[in-house]
Amino acid sequence: MTLGTSTPLSATGNASPVEPATASPGIALRSVTKMYSNAIAVENLTLDIPAGSYCCLLGPSGCGKTTTLRMLAGHEAVSSGEIWMGDRRVDALPPAKRDTAMVFQNYALFPHKSVRENVGFGLKMRGVAKRERAARVAEMLALVGLAEFGDRRPTQLSGGQQQRVALARALATRPQVLLLDEPLSALDESLRVKTRSELRKLQRQFGLTFVQVTHAQDEAFSLADFIVVMDHGRVDQVGTAAAVYHQPASVFVADFVGDNNIFAGQVLSCEPVGDRERVQLAVEGVGSLVATGAGGIVGHQAACCVRADQMQLAVGDRPPHAPNQLSARITAIEFTGYVTRVLLRLPNNSQELLYKARTEDWLATGYQEGQLLNLSWSPDACIFLPH
């Protein structure tokens, strides 16, 4: 089983001066299951991760993403199924034989060792000669911008610098696959944004296959070539950031990603429109809504969603014949800087809705808390969710 290889590139597209020992392989998981006693942590997971890509496993706590990463690393044994890296089956191999490296959430640096000793630790364990080890460590420290910090201890570094030491240590062994377990969770927001850029630059420079676990959707959107959204040990959706954001495949994904307003109802009709369907749903307390998607079955329960920035607000009478419209009252207005979040509640039920707009545009409306507004949106902005 071969998923292809990738030539390491720098951010400018030129061959990188620092390359892994061999070209990075793709990863294939086939019907992988992990059980603890009677609890299923990962269930029948089948997934292809292309060579040289940046993949993010995204989902809430307990969804199975970290267990999946640890099975890739060899720190957890699979209960059943197969893991392939390129044309090698690796699920029975120990971690040291998989040509992977892992960056842990807490960085796992040795506090009594210098930065230089931390970065060279994996090389020393592999029996790399002292002179070559020193050269490789110097190369990695220069790469992550810490060339002058080699004699310091980890406690003398900032959180961002410690994170870069952990990256340098992982990359020093020239792995084929780099695995990252929530590597940015301990950093403050501004440093997280900066470090995201550094991670992406390093991934492109080395041409490695990166697999990162995160629960933060902004992190996944900014880093990943494609995203794997997981829920209760299963893959719910795989796609690019744009596809996951604009076309959620399920109620779970719509709820977890993208500030969507979700309406549950019963399918009344399905009409083919090109390669999609116009699906009409009866929603209690709202009336009829029209969504775009596929897989609708008349009489079945389903749902639809509209993003918070895709609705239009107005006062006065509702527009005639608009397919998606309702009235809601403003309950709270939250200024968050460039964007203002507006919470509304439907008068006929307890459902709360979210509207988002540029703060400048919102202030121009003059709408106030307690005001009753009409909301409308097009069927193309309303995504049908069959499950």
The answer to whether 116 and 110 are in contact (CB under 8 A) is: no
Q: Are residues 283 and 241 in the same domain?
A: no
Residue 298 is classified by DSSP as: T
If asked whether residues 339 and 195 sit together in one domain, one would say: no
Domain termination site, one of 195, 225, 246: 246
The model's pLDDT over 223-270, given as tens digits with 9 standing for 90+, comes to 999 999 999 999 999 999 999 999 999 999 999 987 999 999 999 999
C-alpha 231, offset from chain centre: 13
Instruction: Quick: pLDDT tens for 60-71.
Output: 999 999 999 999
Last residue of a domain, one of 217, 246, 275: 246
- Please indicate, yes or no, if residue 206 is contained in any of the structural domains: yes
Instruction: State the residue range of the domain holding 367.
Output: 259-385
**How many beta carbons lie within 10 A of that of residue 138, not counting itself?**
15
Do 376 and 237 have their domain in common?
no
pLDDT digits (tens, 9 = 90+) for 143-160: 888 999 999 999 999 888
| Residues 81-115 pLDDT 10s | 999 999 999 999 999 899 899 988 888 899 999 99
The total of structural domains in the chain comes to 2
Strand (E) or helix (H) holding 36: strand 27-36
Please give the residue that has the higher pLDDT: either 144 or 366: 366
Which region, left, alpha or beta, applies to residue 50 given φ > 0 means left and ψ of -120 to 50 means alpha? beta
What pTM does this model have?
Answer: 0.86
Same domain, 278 and 228: no
Average pLDDT in the 272-297 region?
A: 93
Q: Are residues 270 and 207 in the same domain?
A: no
Point out the domain boundary residue: 246, 267, 288.
246
